[in-house]
């Protein structure tokens, strides 16, 4: 089946530094990538949606200059958390969408646990 590889699975960084999270669709073309995050004891919440080759669309309350999303190819999307702060510590997960045989399929990555110290 469809697989999305997400790296790193865990990262600890210092305040003020930037962290890049990658999601690769291994055996299909992801025309759209969704990025979610989950704070402790809360739901997974959509942060942004990106289509290959175009700018990402951010949900209300998500800072686009802080969470940079690049979807330069049909198999790779990246999320960069810039100038990270402790409040950015969260679980981030991507979801790739492909259109196949008339329907949309969604595949999730394994998630990244970010801790900012």
Which member of 13, 31, 49, 62 binds another protein (CB under 8 A)?
49
Binding to another protein, residues 89-108 (CB under 8 A):
93, 95, 97, 104, 106-108
CA–CA separation, 96 vs 2, rounded Å?
9
User: At 17, is the secondary structure helix, strand, or coil?
Assistant: coil
What is the torsion angle, in degrees rounded to the nearest 10, for the CA atoms of residue 76, residue 79, residue 80 and residue 81?
A: -170
51 belongs to the binding site for another protein (CB under 8 A): no
* Minimum separation from the CB atom of position 2 to another protein (A): 10
Q: Which residues contact 58 (CB under 8 A, 6 or more apart)?
A: 47, 48, 64, 67
14 belongs to the binding site for another protein (CB under 8 A): no
Which member of 46, 68, 74, 76 binds another protein (CB under 8 A)?
46
Q: How far is CA 115 from the centre of its chain?
A: 16
Footprint of another protein on this chain (CB under 8 A)? 4, 6, 9, 32, 34, 36, 38, 41-46, 49, 93, 95, 97, 104, 106-111
């Amino acid at each position: 089946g469809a697989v999305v590889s997400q790296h790193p699975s865990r990262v600890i960084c210092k305040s003020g530094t930037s962290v890049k999270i990658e999601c690769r669709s291994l055996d299909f073309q992801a025309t759209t990538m969704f990025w979610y995050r989950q704070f402790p004891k809360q739901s997974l919440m959509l942060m942004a949606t990106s289509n290959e080759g175009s700018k990402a669309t951010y949900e209300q309350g998500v800072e686009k200059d802080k969470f940079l999303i690049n979807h330069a190819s049909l198999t790779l999307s990246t999320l960069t958390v810039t100038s990270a702060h402790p409040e950015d510590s969260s679980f981030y997960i991507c979801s790739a969408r492909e259109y196949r045989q008339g329907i949309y399929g969604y595949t999730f990555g394994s998630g990244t646990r970010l801790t900012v110290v």
